[in-house]
Amino acid sequence: INQYEHDGTDDQWRDLTGCVNDAQRVKKVLKKRFGFQEKDILLLTDQQATHQGIVRSFYDHLIQKAGKNTEVLFWYSGHGSRVPDGSGIASAEYQGKDSTFVTFNSRSKGNGRSFDFTDDELHSLIRALCGKTDRLTVITDSCHSGGVTRGPAGRSSRAAKAGSQSLTRKDIDSFWPSEIPFLEDGDVRRNVPLSYVHIAACSSVEEAEEIEVKDSRGRVRRFGAMSFFLTQALEKMPKGTTYRELAKQVGLQVNAFFEGQNVQAEGGI
């Protein structure tokens, strides 16, 4: 998501320029290197990537279509933020806040509150998907993204001002898939380990940056730093490379540009 529906009151974040480039680059790599077909890939950009659009697409395109041996990738590039955790459990989230994705309409005019896609929603959808396949990779290139399993004009950080209110089940009831349990923090079902890999641009308290890159024609384009180096590595990595090796290589490259950004990896790496 580059362009957001603003409410005109938030001066702590702005539209981005590199996220759609990230997604288009990822799509090319999936088709050229890994044999994905056009029909396999669903790409939501800008106004398509509403809160409802992301949830329903995750359900319809990933969960509903997955089988035992389906290889699944969920990749998010856009603003990340944090909102107060609504579970009421003091130790459930670091500093008492959920990590979130800022969807196209998260802070839209008339919303009156934060309407971000939360880590609880993502976990609930991932759990349902893992019930069908154990081949799931999640990539998140946004600020605070280490907590979900970019600011000032001088930089291009994928960070949005923190939300002031919790998101509740009532907020999403109109489009949440009825057969998918929504698991809030503290739900005992969240204690069961899941089989997936998550690579995040940074930790839950760090910011994810964008970089400028010249293409073969000398044109300057922006990408998420992690997304650029990760897709570059995916194009060239030898067969048999582990997620651990991949994340380490990309992390070193990102860290050479942005010292305060540390790529994270978890799961079966």
**Residues acting as catalytic residues:** 79, 143
Q: What does each C-alpha distance from 47 to 43, 50, 105, 220, 246 come to in angstroms? A: 12, 6, 8, 25, 32
